Amino acid sequence: MKRIFLILILIFTLNIIYAEESKYREDKGLQVQLLINGGALIGYHFNDQIFLGGTSITNINEREAVTTFDNATVQSSLLEAKILPEGLYGKKYEQGRILTGQLRISPWDTSGFFLSFGGYQEGSRKETLYFDRRDRKIGDTTYSNTSITIIVERDPVLAPLLGIGWNWIYENGFSWGFDLTGGIVNEKITKAKATVLTENTSVTNGDLAIEEEKYRKSSDLSASYFTIAMGMNF
């Protein structure tokens, strides 16, 4: 939250500095931009207030398990750190592409600020977390010398979209901006499931089921992104 607040302060400051660099939306309607974090945006300004377009955001599809025992370095993307067992040493994360269709409305002619509405589509997510061998509590029982693997899978998302952003267009056609956007998501939109695996055959199915339900309920269901875009308007 603190990071988002600082980003908003920065953007409002830039908006004041470049207030006059946003008056070319109607003259240079076609907008093509590349996203710094991977992907592209293309759309059209019908006038100073209305923009219709779409984005395709490329995500990290696969990340190999990190071979380190530094729990501060390896962090989960789908589970809060406070509920994780001790001994996390590696993970593998997969996430599908994000696609959006956006109607952007700019309330002020000479400001880069816009509100965005539309549709948000995101592919499935899967995270595998690896925990080292030690004495650990699983469910209601403490087991000795036991390693575990937690697998969290989240269904694809198709949801309404809301967002805000800023986009500046210069007289020579160069344009750049920020976009903070997300889908309106709950358990009716997407669901998660968790699987806990271990090589210790003494661990009961009942204890594993307790752990799996705990991690399922704690899975992150949010669907949002922050992008920086640069490109040209024609």
CA distance 198 to 155: 24
| pLDDT above 70 (res 48) | yes
Question: What is the reported pTM?
Answer: 0.77
Domains of the chain: 2-233 (2.40.160)
Q: What tens digit of pLDDT does each residue of 58-99 get? A: 865 444 444 445 555 778 888 988 889 998 888 888 888 899
pLDDT of residue 149: 96
For the ranges 16-25, 85-94, 117-126, 199-208, the lowest mean pLDDT is seen at: 16-25
